Amino acid sequence: MNGVVRAREALAEALGALGATLRHHRDLGTAELALEGAYLLSPEEALSAQERALQGCRKCKLCEGRTTIVFGSGHPRAEFVVIGEGPGADEDAQGLPFVGRAGQLLTKMLEAPGVSFSRDEVFITNAVKCRPPGNRNPEAEELAACAPVLAAQLGALQPKVILALGSVATQSLLGTKEPIGRLRGRVHPYGSAVLIPTFHPAFLLRNPGQEYKRMAWDDLKLARREYDQRRTR
């Protein structure tokens, strides 16, 4: 009997995940989706399958200079997702997002009192998964090539709050050219989630003045408040 109960619970969880995924794509304006078994996978299984499928990707020229595809890391059921623009040299070497100086600052920002996120309870990724040469900004076609990968990640995660780091990630996600200085400080609808832009940690390292630090702090507190209001787990 216990086996039957567990099977029913697993089916109920799978159907719930399927419904959440379909609502997520509907809210983003998707009219049609191919019927595939992947929609019945748990978030853990879906993310693992996506990462495996991404190996060897050659959809844009970033593949020519990368060492590692940096898929993302964190909790597979995180309702708070952090998105940067692309991996740097340290990330390319280790295969993990935000592990260099900017990543160390991001960790401190997330762990700060009043925000209080550990990296283990959020999911961190980038708009592109391969390092642009010389750490330049990703180009439009590179962002477009990786957009379906990011959309699939968000479809599996079903976040409530997305923290977008810097102008490249924010503009790409929102489909705008408005500067980060005007986009930050506000809550932007994003499907069934909300998106909150802030400065990239690398920018804060280059501009250590109190003004930018204060604005980033305000953005993080806003993101935390939105998360506390929307979280379901």
Sign of the torsion formed by the C-alpha atoms of 132, 134, 136 and 139: negative
Is 108 a domain residue? yes
Is 14 a domain residue? no
Is 220 a domain residue? yes
Is 119 a domain residue? yes
Extract the residue ranges of the chain whose pLDDT is less than 50.
Answer: 7, 24-25, 28, 35
Is 22 a domain residue? no
Residue 130 contacts residue 88 (beta carbons within 8 Å):
no
Is 17 a domain residue? no
**Nearest 10 degrees: CA dihedral of 57, 62, 65, 70?**
-60
pLDDT of residue 8: 59
User: Beta partners for 81?
Assistant: 123, 162
Q: What is the pLDDT of residues 75-129, one digit of tens each?
A: 999 999 999 999 999 999 999 999 999 999 999 999 999 999 999 999 999 999 9
Which residue from 210, 111, 106 is spatially nearest to 164, judged by alpha carbons? 106
**Total domains, the chain:** 1
Residue 123 is part of which domain span? 41-230
Residue 160 contacts residue 23 (beta carbons within 8 Å):
no
Which residue from 159, 196, 161, 11 is spatially nearest to 77, judged by alpha carbons? 159
CATH of the domain at 71: 3.40.470.10
Is 13 a domain residue? no
pLDDT of residue 40: 74
Is 160 a domain residue? yes
